[in-house]
Amino acid sequence: MKPAVLIVDDDEEIRTQMRWALEDDYAPVLADSREGALAAFREHTPGAVLLDLGLPPNPNSTKEGMAILTEILEAEPATQIIVITGQADREHALKAIQAGAQDFLAKPVQMDELKILLRRACTVAELKRANRLESRAADETNVAGLIGQSPAMQKVYNFIAKVATTNAPVLILGESGTGKEMAARAIHLRSPRHEKPFIAINCGAIPEALLESELFGHEKGSFTGAHAQRKGRVETAEGGTLFLDEIGEMPLALQVKLLRFLQEKKIERIGGRTSIDVDVRIIAATNQDLSARIAEGKFREDLYYRLAVVNITMPPLKERPGDVQLLAQSFIDQFAREHGKVAPKFTQAALRAMEHHEWPGNVRELHNRVRRSYIMLEGNSIRPEDLELADEESADPGKTLKAARENLERSMVLDALRRNQGKISHTANELGISRPTLYELMEKLGIKNEERPS
């Protein structure tokens, strides 16, 4: 089926021209008013909308068009809206972009340029909707912070779906920052224990002398400083899930006590003489090679087999093709919601830089870089330098044909800007492109305002 595209314009001639230009590749749906646009959107749910802001009953105002934009994005945030404006309405178009529109084109519309933008818009809308469907298919995995469409993550989702409904212990393996705790939370949220506590403890972050008390609790007076009876994390997780992060760091003496608990489902607090029955599911995680730890005599083999009834391996971010952009967009949307603002956009150079980066810190590193860029951002677009990443293709013009072409384009645009004292209209005319195309090209090539001569 051809993707639906909603065309909203009060000029019948423009609607007809766009329909003729697009109907070979798309299924155009036409509307000339706010009421008609919203009705058509509800019926066809198009991925992309071409929107004229000036509509009846106030065609000289942007009120109706902005209302359509807001209502459509509230109903379906994945929709990509391209604003169609008059030559003198760039200010209104920029306000629409701040409100959530993806791009704008000035009338008279150049159809070749429109088709390029539309192709990209439909692809982005499809990706966003597909990701939401995948997240729903994985139920609460997205709630727990797991996002991704890559084959490696689909495998993780399948494991989670199968193991969540059981009480079997799970061992989650993976490098630091890959989301092992999020996977553990996803298992808990999908399990019959989801209404009970999820208690996490990092076995490598607590001193050995305190770890036993943290896990199993203590009785009053059992050691210096034990002024009152205290329940440990195991008891606190009663009926729910106990997540033991960095299990490979647990001291051997405590490994014996944990093994006994796994076998008997009973604990004794430090200084106590009574066995306490506890119903807790254990999920453990490590970034270490436990086989090597066993060979070194630092991890008990019998405990390993008790914990590793089911193994789930979290893939490093560099082995998750396509997930970097989805995660980055999710993070930036989250930060913007927290501050009640419209999320800034990533430039093409920033997206390219993220795809090229190796991500040694995995998802945690990506989260931190995106958060820092949001906090320090000046403007509406996130560039490679905001993420403290290098645009490798632009930095090395001999690396690929694409990189060489972009390097040449950047040089030509900068030279034209200098010759025209930074005037966008004159520069666009010299280069033989429209002003919106020049703005988009400058963003893609990472040309900042301060590089424009005044």
Q: Which helix (H) or strand (E) holds 8?
A: strand 4-8
Domain spanning 140-315: CATH superfamily: P-loop containing nucleotide triphosphate hydrolases (3.40.50.300)
What is the band of 230 on the pLDDT scale with cuts at 50, 70, 90?
confident
Contact 381, 369 (CB under 8 A): no
> Is residue 141 scored above 50 in pLDDT?
no
Q: Which pLDDT score is estimated for 220?
A: 81
Edge-first strand listing for the sheet containing 310-313: 198-202, 241-245, 281-286, 170-173, 310-313
Q: Which fold has domain 4-135?
A: Rossmann fold (3.40.50)
Q: Which pLDDT score is estimated for 422?
A: 82
What is the band of 134 on the pLDDT scale with cuts at 50, 70, 90?
low
Contact 266, 278 (CB under 8 A): yes
Q: Average the pLDDT over 132-149 and give the result.
A: 57
For residue 330, give the 3-state DSSP assignment: helix
Tell me whether domains 4-135 and 323-451 share a fold.
Answer: no
> Is residue 32 scored above 90 in pLDDT?
yes
Q: Which pLDDT score is estimated for 87?
A: 58
Instruction: Provide the 8-state DSSP code for 191.
Output: S
DSSP letters spanning 234-283? HHHTTTSEEEEETGGGS-HHHHHHHHHHHHHSEE--BT--S-EE---EEE
Each domain of the chain, given as residue ranges in start order, spans 4-135, 140-315, 323-451
Question: Using CA atoms, how far apart are residues 445 and 61, in angstroms rounded to an integer?
Answer: 34
Q: Which of 13-17, 146-150, 263-267, 341-345 has the weakest average pLDDT? A: 146-150
What is the band of 425 on the pLDDT scale with cuts at 50, 70, 90?
confident
> Is residue 214 scored above 50 in pLDDT?
yes
What is the band of 138 on the pLDDT scale with cuts at 50, 70, 90?
very low
**What does the mean pLDDT of the chain come to?**
86
Contacts of 233 by beta carbon, 8 Å cutoff, 6+ apart = 199, 201, 214, 215, 242
The label of the residue with tokens 């066993």 reads: 294
Question: Using CA atoms, how far apart are residues 181 and 192, in angstroms rounded to an integer?
Answer: 18
Contacts of 23 by beta carbon, 8 Å cutoff, 6+ apart = none
The CATH architecture that domain 323-451 belongs to is: Orthogonal Bundle (1.10)
387-420 per-position pLDDT tens digit: 988 765 554 444 556 666 777 788 888 888 888 8
Q: Average the pLDDT over 191-219 and give the result.
A: 89
Q: Specify the long-range contacts of residues 434-442, CB closer than 8 Å, at least 24 apart.
A: 434/105, 434/106, 434/110, 434/113, 435/90, 435/106, 436/103, 436/104, 436/105, 436/106, 436/113, 437/110, 437/113, 438/413, 440/103, 441/409, 441/413, 442/413
What is the band of 145 on the pLDDT scale with cuts at 50, 70, 90?
low
Contact 48, 3 (CB under 8 A): yes
Strands (E), 116-189: 170-173
> Is residue 132 scored above 80 in pLDDT?
no
Q: Average the pLDDT over 339-363 and give the result.
A: 90
Instruction: Provide the 8-state DSSP code for 212.
Output: H
Question: Using CA atoms, how far apart are residues 168 and 81, in angstroms rounded to an integer?
Answer: 47
Q: Which helix (H) or strand (E) holds 211?
A: helix 208-216
How far are the Cα atoms of 76, 244, 286 from residue 139, in angstroms, in the given order? 19, 24, 25
Q: Average the pLDDT over 159-180 and give the result.
A: 93
Question: Using CA atoms, how far apart are residues 410 and 305, in angstroms rounded to an integer?
Answer: 58
